[in-house]
Amino acid sequence: ERARDYLHKTGRFIVIGGIVSPVHDSYGKTGLVSSRHRLTMCQLAVQSSDWIRVDPWECYQDTWQTTCSVLEHHRDLMKRVTGCILSNVNTPSITPVIGQPQNESSQTIYQNNNVSNKATAAKILGKVGESLSRICCVRPPMERFTFVDENANLGTVMRYEEIELRILLLCGSDLLESFCIPGLWNEADMEVIVGEFGIVVVPRDGADPDRIMNHSSILRKYKNNILVVKDDSNHPMSVVSSTKSRLALQHGDGHVVDYLCQPVIDYILKSQLYINASG
């Protein structure tokens, strides 16, 4: 949510959906609980959100998937759903997201117009924030429309043939720092992640994004594709840590409520996750 607020403030983006994709069980990280539990916890965490959803695709694969392959999956899925070509950050969009109706007079279609029950592109994109944040696997017919979103609430009305759809990887600066560890990431994957998709970075304690980018040739090369979330307040997000959350649970530390919402805490306690035998 903090990242979305920042991207809106730049005036360059309208964030229409957020995807949480828990990693596959075979990732092998110490202390990683079953994806069944992780999916449920993530769903509980975002159940009140109207724009963030949890996607189980990564967990349901036969084996662990790279970050690059997960991004490519969601990009390909959005292509099928919207019937458009998603733009890369390095190339201008050559295919509008939504254009003029074919073989019809030019008539602007608004979100609150009455439309038929047919699953047209206009209907699927009619309420953009809801539609694409709950991406379905139904490909709409390929009609093309001029569309105006009256719910963008950013002070201006946007025509969707004038914008590009992009998928960005959201991470903390600690993950960005891992790009500098030799051999940890496949360099070809890094080129795709940073060069074709782009990254939104939330600064974390002790990990300065500008310093990190200077230590990697690939990050320096695509520096313009890395968006660092900045604001004027000392936001508590910078100290949020999954490791600290697990330790707080193990030690009965009441500060766990600073990191996790109550439905997630209740589920963890009910399922006896992250709690050692003596606790």
SS (H, E, C) 172-223: EHHHHHHCCCCCCCCHHHHHHHHHHHCEEEECECCECHHHHHCCCHHHHHCH
Question: 121 lies in a domain?
Answer: no
Question: 132 lies in a domain?
Answer: no
Residue 94 has a pLDDT of 37
User: Which residues of the chain fall below pLDDT 50?
Assistant: 90-162, 277-279
* Contact predicate 166/87, CB 8 Å: yes
Q: How many CB atoms lie within 10 A of CB 184?
A: 9
Residue 210 has a pLDDT of 84
Residue 84 has a pLDDT of 58
* Contact predicate 228/1, CB 8 Å: no
CATH number at residue 28: 3.40.50.620
How confident is the model over 218-246, as pLDDT tens digits? 999 999 999 999 865 556 566 677 888 88
Question: 13 lies in a domain?
Answer: yes
Question: 89 lies in a domain?
Answer: no
How confident is the model over 59-76, as pLDDT tens digits? 999 999 999 999 999 998
- C-alpha of 221 from chain center: 23
Question: 229 lies in a domain?
Answer: yes
Question: 150 lies in a domain?
Answer: no
DSSP secondary structure, 56-104, as one string = -HHHHSSS---HHHHHHHHHHHHHHHH-SPPPPTTS--SS-SS-PPTTS
Nearest to 128 by CA among 84, 186, 182, 90: 84
Question: 222 lies in a domain?
Answer: yes
How far apart, in Å, are the Cα atoms of 143 and each of 102, 123, 127, 177, 251? Answer: 7, 11, 17, 44, 57
Give me the domain span that covers residue 12. 1-84+164-239
Question: 154 lies in a domain?
Answer: no
Residue 83 has a pLDDT of 62
What is the tally of structural domains in the chain?
Answer: 1
How confident is the model over 243-259, as pLDDT tens digits? 888 888 888 888 788 88
